[in-house]
Structure 1
Amino acid sequence: MRVGSIVMGVSDVRRAMEFWGRALGYVPRDEPEATWVVLTSASGAGPNVSLMRSETPVQEKPRVHLDLYTSDQAGEVDRLVGLGASHVDWQDYPPDADFVVLADTEGNRFCVIQHGLPPT
């Protein structure tokens, strides 16, 4: 068994598709619908990210979120903010935090984590 897709609720599927597609280098698997799209890695690596229209309010501290690993945290945070992400005022940062909390264009929280990955 493996993770096939991570599903996130969004209020605007097309706006979220544009953000996550550009953020991750993902493309729609099929023609997007008004209420649903599955994004898949252009390189074929990694799980899909599915975006489903939802009226559920964004959680301030979601129980499930994405952790994005990078070897260039500052550069990626700047790039993602340039794509429309926003910084989240996160009160729970430990003093030696290796993560930055952002919100996507829909308000969904995610973390950008400094990780020793080779640059892609």
Structure 2
Amino acid sequence: MVTLGTVVMHVADTGRAARFWAQALGYVPREHNPLILEPKDGNGPGLALDESDRMHLDLYADSAQEQQAEVERLISVGAQRVDWAYPDDADFVVLADTEGNLFCVVDTSHG
């Protein structure tokens, strides 16, 4: 089963937003990407701050096989595939929920 891995939040100023949300939530910057904040103890979803992407959820799957199975399961309960321009090394699949909100299913073993 997928888990809520990251909430991606659209922001106008990543530095300002990172300082605010780190203090507001008690989160710390991820070691290799300071624009992703995560709980100090590692328990709970991360918060990714992005100036170019719209707000969405990233759901994490442990393998490519689990990702595919979860995509199919989510479609069976009402999600829809989204026509998306994927990079060659994409580790995510973009879907929309029943209200049209986008979310990604990410294969966390990919990279």
Please report the TM-score for the alignment, with normalisation by the length of structure 1.
0.45
Q: Which has the higher strand share?
A: 2
